[in-house]
Every structure is written in structure tokens, then in C-alpha cells.
Amino acid sequence: MIQNRLERHGFGIGGAAGLGPPVGLVVRGGGGACEAAISGYSTRFMIGGMATPQGGIFALGTASHAYLEFDALRPEVADQLIAAVASLREPRTTMGGVNLVAGFRPELWRDAMPDDAPAGLEGFNHDLVGVDDFVMPASQHDAVMWISGSAYDVVFDMAREVIAELKELASVAVETSSWPYRHDRDLTGFIDGTENPTLIDAPSIALVRDGAPGASGSILLLQKWSHDVNAWESLPVGRQEQVIGRKKDDSAELADKPADSHVARTDQDTLGKIFRRNMPYGTVMDHGTMFVGFGSDQRVLMAMLESMAGVRGGVRDALTFYTRPLTGAYYFIPSTDGLRRLSET
Ligand code: HEM
């Protein structure tokens, strides 16, 4: 029922499950191989026998985003909620196309699809307490929908449609609207994503490897960070650069970056690699960064948070004195094949 109604409206899981094109620049693939397509159409078969990831993870360049986090209305409908979300299908038209990335609280997905769940994956179930009483709050919900498109009207319409379709099963716990700021800057004014992998390398970093439980799925850390604009903007640019560890104009890494700088605390050579799709969020009066980080291994994402909080080595990330996490949740983003298998059971 949900599937049919959404298909009529041209909505679905963006990227790889059916006939419609993902919006933006996309690379599909998993494990050692990948297939690149620029605004290309997607295919219904598995690539070289591998499961196909949700293409929206890699669809760069979309101008408007919404993140909807849902809670099941009652524990006993959680299974139905997962099945309903999994039944959403690919857009059928190129006009007004949107990407929809769907994910689930890891424990819920494991209950529904034990053989397609990465071992040990768990929700953000406890606050992360760092040094100086710094806290990253846990705000785990049951499901997430990340909707992105070329403009807010199509994102808005789709978000309303999805909410209406799920209303017997789930309510929206958190809604966040996001948009890119000055091409690739976050609202600190710095370029965000410099050390991201290329779209060719991103699948092997973001996706669970072929053959492992949850293959071609991804682990998403979604964390909303509020910026203390006044405190940040009172800093001279030279001090802001020390906080980030990079130059503000061109993102060049400082040769002598401080140990508490953000890029020192999240150094991927030490902690492992992730794929970030961060977006600014909010209003003129109240805004910040929606941290959207994908990885194949939850331990890397956890280690980065611990490092930022000062749990590893006692040094707290300087950026956390100017930004504050309001939410924190992990979601498993299954492959489209995993979603299809669930929706067919
Ligand atoms: C308010 C929140 C945040 C803001 C504004 C922010 C901003 C930035 C900026 C400006 C950079 C430097 C350029 C780049 O390489 O992208 C950066 C790097 C990075 N950030 Fe963040 N970030 C935030 C939160 C986080 C969180 C929560 C994590 C991890 C869980 C994270 C992980 C990283 C990583 C891995 C890098 C690259 C480090 C390297 O050079 O290897 N960031 N971030």
C-alpha cells in the first residue's frame, strides 16, 4: 500500500533499487569494485554478484536536504515499520527526482534481518561523557530517512508524503532541514570535506565489505551540532584556524597544528577512514552542522567521538568549545537488496 502510493508520486529509495536516476553525482559499488555513473540511471541487478548500496549516500551536489528521525508508535509495530520503510521504491521519473536514504536502529534491523546485520553494531544508547563534564547526548531513534533533492519543494513534498504514509506506525521525533553554504563550507566558514575520499574510493570506505553480514550496507552516525556563533565569531581568524587545524580560505593543513585542533583529534591516518556528508542546518538565529558520517566499521566513528570528547588521551577537541552536540544516533543503512528481501518477506 505504502509502496504503491509512493510509486504513484514518483518517490522511492534513491540510487540503486529500480528505474529512476539518483539526483547528483553518484558512485555505486562495494568491496573492491565499483561502478561510476554521473546522474546516471541505476540498474536492478547486483554488481558482479555483490549487493547494491543505497545510491543516495554518494549522490553529491544536491541543494536541499531533510533528515527525519522516527520512533515506532508502539514496540510491537517496530517490525511493520521496518517493512513499510523497506517497501518504498525508486523514483520513476527524472523530473523533480529525490534521493531517499533509509536506515534503522541497529538492534531493530538485526531482529528483522539477523543475517544482514554487521556483528556488534549497536545504537547510540548511552551518553558519551568526556573530560570537563563534556557530554555527547544519546538520542537514538528507530528509523531515519535522509531525503535530498535539487530544491526544497520536492524534498518538502516527499517528506510530507513519507510521514503521512508511516503515520499509523511511527511519529517524527526529530526533523532537520539542511542546505549547502557557499558551495562546500560549514557554518564556521571553513571548507568541510577536504579530507573526504574521492567518489571512487568512498564506497570501499563507507560500505560493509562483500561477503560480510550487512554487505554493501553502511553505518551512519547522525549528530546535530549547534554552533555558538557569538563565541566563534569573536575569535580572530588565526585562532579559528588553530581550532580547526586548517587555513580558512583554502583549507590547507597547518604545518604545526595543535594537538587539540579538530583535524588532529579526528586524524584518519590514526583512527581510520570515514565518508562525511555534513550539511549546515537551521535558521539565521539558531544553526549549526548536521554531522552525517558513513563508515564500514562503527569502531572508527566511535573512536573519533571519543577522541573529540577527550576520552582518548585527555585532550578535548577545541571545536567542542564552540559547537555543542544536541543529538546522537547510529543507524544501519542496509543495501537495497537487503531492503528488498525484507519487503518481500
Ligand atoms: C560541529 C561539528 C563539526 C564541524 C563544523 C566539522 C568541521 C570540519 C572541518 C572544517 C574539517 C576540516 C576539513 C576537512 O577535512 O573536512 C573537518 C575534518 C574532519 N572532521 Fe569534522 N566537523 C564536525 C564534527 C565532526 C565529527 C562529529 C566527526 C567524527 C565523528 C568529524 C570527523 C572529521 C574528520 C574525520 C575530518 C578529517 C580529518 C583528517 O584530516 O583526516 N567531524 N571537520
Per-residue pLDDT reduced to its tens digit, 278-304? 999 999 999 999 999 999 999 999 999
All three cell numbers of 41, joined, read 540511471
CA of 317 to the centre of ligand 1 (A): 11
43-47, 162-166, 225-229, 312-316, range with the lowest pLDDT: 43-47
CA of 78 to the centre of ligand 1 (A): 33
Taking CA atoms only, the protein residue closest to ligand 1 atom 32 is 266
The domain total for the chain is: 1
Mean pLDDT of 106-112: 97
Residue 283: exposure state from Cβ atoms within 10 A (0-12, 13-18, ≥19): exposed
Mean pLDDT of 118-130: 97
* Phi and psi, residue 46, nearest 5°: -80, 145
Q: Count the neighbouring beta carbons within 10 Å of the beta carbon of residue 96.
A: 18
Taking CA atoms only, the protein residue closest to ligand 1 atom 8 is 192
Task: Tell me: pLDDT of 187 over 60.
Answer: yes
pLDDT at position 314, please?
82
Task: Tell me: pLDDT of 95 over 60.
Answer: no
pLDDT at position 35, please?
32
CA of 209 to the centre of ligand 1 (A): 24
Taking CA atoms only, the protein residue closest to ligand 1 atom 31 is 266
pLDDT at position 262, please?
98
Task: Tell me: pLDDT of 138 over 80.
Answer: yes
pLDDT at position 343, please?
79
* Phi and psi, residue 70, nearest 5°: -115, 150
Q: Are 68 and 98 in contact (CB under 8 A)?
A: no
pLDDT at position 230, please?
96
Mean pLDDT of 121-139: 97
Give the residues across from 70 on adjacent strands: 143, 172
pLDDT at position 20, please?
40
What range defines the domain where residue 272 resides? Answer: 2-343
pLDDT at position 19, please?
30
Q: Are 297 and 70 in contact (CB under 8 A)?
A: no
Mean pLDDT of 196-215: 97
Task: Tell me: pLDDT of 274 over 60.
Answer: yes
Residue with more model confidence, 298 or 345: 298
For residue 226, which amino acid is it? S
Residues with CB under 6 A from ligand 1: 186, 188, 190-195, 221, 223, 225, 244, 246, 251, 262-263, 266-268, 274, 289, 291, 293, 301, 304-305, 323
Taking CA atoms only, the protein residue closest to ligand 1 atom 33 is 266
Which contiguous run of DSSP H or E holds residue 126?
Answer: none
Active site residue 192: yes
Catalytic residue (choose from 192, 297, 317, 337): 192
CA 203 to CA 66: how far, in whole Å? 23
Where do the DSSP E strands lie in the chain?
Answer: 25-30, 33-38, 64-72, 98-104, 128-129, 135-136, 143-149, 170-178, 218-227, 275-276, 279-282, 287-295, 323-325, 329-333
pLDDT at position 38, please?
29
pLDDT at position 312, please?
83
Task: Tell me: pLDDT of 252 over 50.
Answer: yes
342 Cβ contact partners less than 8 Å away, ≥ 6 residues apart: 82, 83, 86, 112, 113, 334
CA 259 to CA 273: how far, in whole Å? 19
pTM: 0.90
Mean pLDDT of 244-270: 98
Q: What is the DSSP letter of 51?
A: P
* Phi and psi, residue 187, nearest 5°: -80, 5
